[in-house]
Amino acid sequence: MSSRFALIASALLLIAAAPYEPPHAGTRVGYRSASLIDGTGRGLQANMAVVTDGARINAVVPDSALTPAQLHGAAQVNLAGEYLLPGYIDSHQHLATPPDRPEAEARLRRDVYSGITATRDMADDIRQIADITRAALVGEIPSPDISYVALMAGPSFFDDPRTHAISQGAVGGHVPWAQAIDESTDMPLAIARGKGTYATAIKIYANLPGNLVARITKEAHRQGLRAWAHGMVFPATPQQVVDAGVDTVSHTCYLAYQAMAKRPDSYQHRFPIDAAPFIRDNPVMAKLYADMVRRGTILDATLHVYREVEHAAREQHKPPLCTVALAGKLTNQAYQAGVQISTGTDGDTPLGDPWPSLFDEFQLLHDAAGLPPMAVIEAASLTGAKAMGAEKDMGSVVPGKLANMVVLSANPLQDVRNLRSVVMTVKRGRIYRRSDYRR
């Protein structure tokens, strides 16, 4: 009987072999003679070597300092004349609203072949996202790693058609991944239900007062989850959201409501932001930014989505809720104040485009928000990892972390557009050559 079980187990292992699984421990690769930007803020380091072992980085040393022991049994990849960076992180995506598995997999495939090694999914139908996350992790599909959320909002928000799209077959507001919260909610139970979806965080979305934002955040942290919130939760103000202790806030322009005499009372009643109070540095915003710096609150700026919103408003002959120019100015002020900024997009380019929207976010952070190229790289790497709560495993090229890297043919410090010159991605030690990508 035991031999039969052994044969069955062996057969299952063969069946379960995933086509994109990470290399096993003991599989060593030496990436040599690279110009390294390690994601920690340190300047470019010439002629460096990175040795990986399985899915992790084993050593980062000057190429001339490599020892025979470090290279023993290692395949070698010559990166002379090329630039090695941490893998990019998109801090804000939606992959299943409504769920469409083939489209999601096509986008994720394009992402990983474009240098993106991790993504925050910021609210979707988690029944599908959970399985895609598993498939990405074990290597059944070519994809970045995914961290996803369980959403919480006030009951009045669940009239939004997107909540029906992510809860088909059930009732939005009454499922573990999209819960309606009010003063009577059993908060420990609600957070535990969200945690049971295997979410990384609770997303605090809309139509909640400040005291409930604080209660959600406190209980999420107690149960070991992150708290990721909109910059304003309507009616909870940006200051109340930051004071609640959330880990990240999304959408720069939402923060501007803090300095306005009138604010929307719900998500459904948002109105355009007057740019006049922000022509010069605004003392209300300065205080908010200072509090974010003190607390370590990360800003998921999402400039890409403001360009999309502005374009849609022009087509509809309506004023946009916020312009790219204002979003860029506010993001620049946050950056100058010392706020950590991550590269989230909250939308993607059409599937026919060879590149995802993250490269648009890079360009906007540089052109509209005035971040220098090194700051854009930090936003896309270590700060993105912090936003995910994954900085111990990713975000910089240092020993012990996952071997998540991107190789470029051109120097991104000279021109941020060179972040698009992707030659290959290394995700959990597995190589994805850009030349192999097929749309």
Domain spanning 20-85+400-436, CATH architecture = Roll (2.30)
Could you tell me the pTM of the whole model?
A: 0.94
298 pLDDT band, cuts 50/70/90, is very high
Mean pLDDT of 266-279: 93
127-156 per-position pLDDT tens digit: 999 999 999 999 999 999 999 999 999 999
Q: Where are the alpha helices (DSSP H) in 148-209?
A: 161-165, 187-195
Is 276:338 a contact under the CB 8 Å cutoff? no
pLDDT band at 281; cut points 50, 70, 90: confident
* Residue 343 confidence (pLDDT) above 70: yes
Question: In the chain, where are the structural domains located?
Answer: 20-85+400-436, 88-388
Instruction: Give the phi and the psi of residue 29 in degrees, each rounded to 5.
Output: -135, 135
CATH 3.20.20.100 applies to domain 88-388: no
Contact at 8 Å (CB) between 408 and 418?
yes
Going along 231-352, which residue ranges are E strands? 248-250, 298-300, 341-342
| Cα gap 417→373, rounded to integer Å | 9
What token pair was written down for 353?
A: 């485009």
Mean pLDDT of 410-432: 98
Kindly indicate the confidence band of residue 279, based on its pLDDT and cuts at 50, 70 and 90: confident
In 201-273, which ranges are E strands? 201-204, 226-230, 248-250
| Cβ partners under 8 Å of residue 412, min gap 6 | 37, 83, 85, 373, 377, 418, 419, 421
**DSSP 3-state of 22:** coil
pLDDT for 182 = 98
pLDDT in tens, 41-79: 889 999 999 999 999 999 999 999 999 999 999 999 999
Per-residue pLDDT of 346-399, as tens digits, reads 999 999 999 999 999 999 999 999 999 999 999 999 999 999 999 999 999 999
Among candidates 84, 206, 223, 230, which has minimal Cα distance to 157? 206
Residues contacting 239, CB < 8 A, separation 6+? 258, 287, 288, 291
- Of the chain, the end-to-end C-alpha distance in Å amounts to 48
